[in-house]
Amino acid sequence: MSYSSVDPGTTHRFRLVIDGVSVGEFTGCTGLACTVEVEEYPEGGRNDSMLYLPKRVKFPPLVLTRPLTQEAEKLSQWVMDSVNEARQQTGQVAALAPNGEVLAKWDLQSVMPVAWHGPRFDASGLGAAIEVLEIVHHGLFKAGTT
């Protein structure tokens, strides 16, 4: 299946790569966003408009979710290793087509995990056991630059 024949509406997997190593694939990803804080500056002599000067860009945490897989132990170990080593890591989130092709990707700088929630087990429930990873980062960047 070629890229042009992939229906973007069927994207349902996201791959997280940290420092070039895949941490796993996820079925949900929220937080790919940014907000620019602006300073309003009244333009002299004009009462009908304002100038908006950018001050700071904020990035919300990324929250990745997936049903329990055999990679659960690998993910929780990566979280603990990252916290214990306290080093700057680069990351990448890639949206995958059903055939595994990368539809889009976002490179992240200074990635750090801030929460991991293992699956909640409930024998009476019908839903899948879900694990959740929450990471923060210092922004998006183009590959090859920092």
Tens-digit pLDDT profile for residues 1-32: 444 455 555 557 999 999 999 999 999 999 99
Contacts of 135 (CB under 8 A, 6+ apart): 61, 62, 64, 91, 108, 111, 112, 113, 114
Specify the fold of 3-32+60-141.
Answer: Pnp Oxidase; Chain A (2.30.110)
Q: Is the pLDDT of residue 93 over 80?
A: yes
Provide the 3-class DSSP secondary structure of residue 37: strand
Count Cα neighbours of 99 within 13 Å in the Cβ-side half-sphere: 10
At residue 44, does pLDDT exceed 80?
no
pTM (two decimals): 0.79
Q: Which pLDDT band, with edges at 50, 70 and 90, does 144 fall under?
A: very low
Averaged pLDDT, 38-43: 89
